[in-house]
Amino acid sequence: MQKYLIYVVVSLIIGLISGSAATYAFAGATAPTLTGLPSEVPIGALLPLTGKLSSFGEKWKHALELAEEDINAYVSKLGLNVKFKIYVEDTKTSPEGALAALQTLSAKG
């Protein structure tokens, strides 16, 4: 009798889990509406575009540009009225250049 009861309980649990999953799958999730989002989200990047590490900086800049395009296409597909903008500043491969670039980005907000 106890073995039968265990099978019944396990079957009920499996039924509840599969029923919940099916309900969620067929209900169709709707994207929440977001309010108060800025129209542009600035993202700053400090890259060595000149100096000894400039070859890396150019590659990273290109990767950031591709990422910006991808994320903007994705949020547009979701129907969100927001755009991500990447601001790149040159560190000149030096601490002084990095500080100046950081101050420039900070001034942009």
pLDDT in tens, 9-55: 666 667 667 666 666 666 655 656 666 778 899 999 999 999 999 99
Q: What's the CATH superfamily of 32-108?
A: Response regulator (3.40.50.2300)
Residue 99: per-residue pLDDT: 96
- Give the pLDDT mean for 71-86: 93
Residue 55: per-residue pLDDT: 93
pLDDT > 70? residue 92: yes
Domain ranges in the chain are 1-30, 32-108
How many Cβ atoms sit within 10 Å of the Cβ of residue 38?
9
